[in-house]
Amino acid sequence: MRLVEETPFRFRIDRHGDMRVPGVVFASRELLPPAGDGSLEQVANVAALPGIVGASYAMPDVHWGYGFPIGGVAATDARRGGVVSPGGVGFDISCGVRLLAADLDRRDFQRVREELMDQLGRAVPRGPGRGAVWDLPRREDLERLLRDGSRHAVDRGYGVPRDLDRCEDFGAVPDAEPEQVGERARERGLGQIGSLGSGNHFLEVQAVEQVHDARAAEEFGLHPDQVCVMVHCGSRGLGHQICTDHVRAMDRTMADRGITVPDRQLACAPVDSPEGRAYLGAMAAAANYARANRQVLGWAAGAALRRVTGRGLDLVYDISHNLAKLEEHEVGGQRRLLCVHRKGATRALPPGHPDLPRDLDAAGQPVLIPGSMGTASYVLTGVAGGDAFHSTCHGAGRRQSRHQAVRSVDAKVLRRDLERSGVAVRGGSARGLAEEAPTAYKDVDAVVAVAEGAGLCRRVARLVPLGVVKG
């Protein structure tokens, strides 16, 4: 794949083959995907989607995914033949990050470290199957949760109303259609609200090591040495099943609509078609499930902290990085309604954006970037004029597959090294730990530096891990 270096942090893939727009890759030379990774070919494939505008974008944490690369952003014109593709969202719909701040500092944590980590380990269900903080007693609860997201969880006592002001979409995507969620997806969702799942999901106790923007950090409620809790998870089996169901439905209709794509994993349908509207409604319901899942997990973490220290947690923000959203953006000098796919990419709204809560108007939207296990995480904020439809990276990004990581990492040595470096580890199988070793990921500091250098976001604070509960 031929790349043209436009700036030190921006590379271009010129149109060729079926590409309707160019590809744009935000990276340094060191962070460019290696030969054989396949993600740059996926950037070019996405550029062939009907109705795509601007460019097919890749964030600095880009790596190979299903159809779209992980770290891919693409927008299609919702009123001029643009399509929606489940591959541009991913199987873990609305996977995202929640950050909560404690009234504790690092010294406080060290005094209660073992007791608190044990409490968190017991309080947080994890693994691939059933198990939840809130085992929904009635299908009516699931229906309300799919429609109202975190709002329903708060109504049931899992949090406080102020939490909703610090959630993307104020806790719920408004156009959810639970009736588009199939029976198998509902069955999978009943027993998983308030659970981490597996893979790269985690609950991590962290400390604010460095503040880069004191004013924004103060607006977000962060200060040096403060203890925080970060939760990374999504819509569990319910979201996975919704993606599976709707990819199959779209795959069956593409030929009849005259749609061809370079990769069948890019199965899609026009945004305004019955199949497109059905997917968007089901996807929004899964997004609401994911928001409620993180809401309940944050409540459980706060309850554990109160049992040990008498102090709770305040929500900084909750943001997704696997979603397609209908948004208005300027394209070619005109405001147009776009379906913006962000897969492994985070929305980064600038100061003054109308979708922000009033108390964040001056600072911009908090952007939460989890690192790999044992490495730093970041809080960023959106910037005026941000590229890629106000999007930025979502994490460090894998550089090794899970199979490669397992072959190259001794889980016992990894656990020992983490403990020696001051990171208490709870849960997670030996294989699961090896799959998520820091060596399997890119350098999150380098990824964030490129994202900031490319003008996608601005650093606010750097956080380091103190303890992790693994999925």
**Digit-coded pLDDT (tens) for 252-297:** 999 999 999 999 999 999 999 999 999 999 999 999 999 999 999 9
Number of domains in the chain: 1
Contact 365, 316 (CB under 8 A): no
The strand pair at 334-343 and 70-77 is best described as antiparallel
| Per-residue b or e along 136-158, where b marks 16 or more CB atoms closer than 10 Å to that residue's CB | beeeebbbbbbbbbbbbbbebeb
Q: Is 416 within a domain?
A: no
DSSP single-letter state for residue 180? G
Work out the percent of the chain whose per-residue pLDDT is above 70.
100
What average pLDDT is seen over the chain?
Answer: 95
With CA atoms as reference, report the closest residue to 389 among 352, 322, 339.
Answer: 339
Convert 82-99 into a string of H (helix), E (strand) and C (coil).
Answer: CEECHHHCCCCCCCEEEE
pLDDT tens figures, 301-337: 999 999 999 999 999 999 999 999 999 999 989 999 9
Q: Classify residue 425: in a domain, yes or no.
A: no
Gap between the Cα atoms of 73 and 70, Å rounded: 9
Residues 6+ apart with CB under 8 A from 171: 148, 149, 150, 151, 154, 163, 164, 291, 295
Identify the helix (H) or strand (E) that includes residue 181: none
Q: Measuring CA to CA, which residue among 282, 274, 242, 279 is closest to residue 257? A: 274
What pLDDT sits at residue 35? 82
Q: Which member of 240, 341, 390, 394 is catalytic? A: 394
Alpha carbon of 177 to those of 50, 274, 286, 361: distances in Å?
25, 13, 10, 30
Instruction: Report how far apart, in Å, the C-alpha atoms of 361 and of each of 101, 261, 467 are.
Output: 20, 41, 32
Alpha-carbon torsion, ordered 241, 244, 249, 251, to 10 deg:
170
Cβ burial, residue 211 (10 Å; 0-12/13-18/19+): buried
How many CB atoms sit inside 10 A of residue 470's CB?
25
Rounded Cα distance between 168 and 454, Å, is: 24
Tokens 């944590």, located at residue: 109
Q: Within its chain, how far is the Cα of 55 from the centroid?
A: 21
Q: What is the maximal distance between C-alpha atoms in the chain? A: 65
Query: Domain residues for 205?
Result: 4-399+441-470
Identity of residue 338: L
Query: What is the sign of the dihedral through the CA atoms of 425, 430, 434 and 435?
Result: negative
Q: Which amino acid is residue 23, in one-letter code? A: G
How far is 160 from 139, CA to CA, in rounded Å?
A: 23
SS3 394: coil
Domain for residue 228, yes or no? yes
Note whether 124 and 261 are within 8 A (CB). no
Angstrom CA distances, 411 to 117, 282, 427, 433, 436, stand at 20, 38, 13, 6, 10
Compute CA distances 145 → 92, 128, 167, 236, whole Å: 17, 21, 15, 14
> Which of the pair, 427 or 222, is modelled with greater confidence?
222
User: Confidence class of residue 378 from pLDDT cuts 50, 70 and 90?
Assistant: very high
Inform me whether the pLDDT recorded for 138 exceeds 80: no
pLDDT band at 129 (very low <50, low <70, confident <90, very high): confident
417 domain residue, yes or no: no
Is residue 434 a part of any domain in this protein? no
296 assigned to some structural domain: yes
Q: Which among 131, 157, 123, 105 is positioned nearest to 307, based on CA atoms?
A: 123
What are the start-end ranges of the E strands in 152-246? 202-211, 226-233
Reported as a single tens digit per residue, the pLDDT across 60-88 is 999 999 999 999 999 999 999 999 999 99
Task: Assess if residue 373 is contained within a domain.
Answer: yes
Cα separation, 219 vs 241, whole angstroms: 38
pTM confidence score: 0.96
Q: Is-contact 127 471, C-beta < 8 A?
A: yes
Element (H, E) at 324: strand 322-331
List C-alpha distances in Å: 219 to 356, 369, 381.
13, 18, 11
pLDDT (0 to 100) of residue 471: 74
Q: Which pLDDT score, from 0 to 100, does residue 265 have? A: 97
Q: What is the structure's pLDDT at 135?
A: 83
Q: What is the CATH number of the domain that holds 300?
A: 3.90.1860.10
**201 assigned to active site:** no
| The predicted structure's pLDDT at residue 388 | 98
Please say whether the beta carbons of 396 and 442 come within 8 A: yes
Token look-up 């309850």 returns 303
Domain presence at residue 420:
no
What pLDDT is attached to residue 365? 98
What is the pLDDT, as a whole number, of residue 103?
Answer: 96
Ordered alpha helix ranges (H), 1-95: 39-46
* 3-state DSSP assignment of residue 49: coil
Residue 216 — left, alpha, or beta (φ > 0 → left; ψ -120 to 50 → alpha)?
Answer: alpha
DSSP class of residue 266?
G
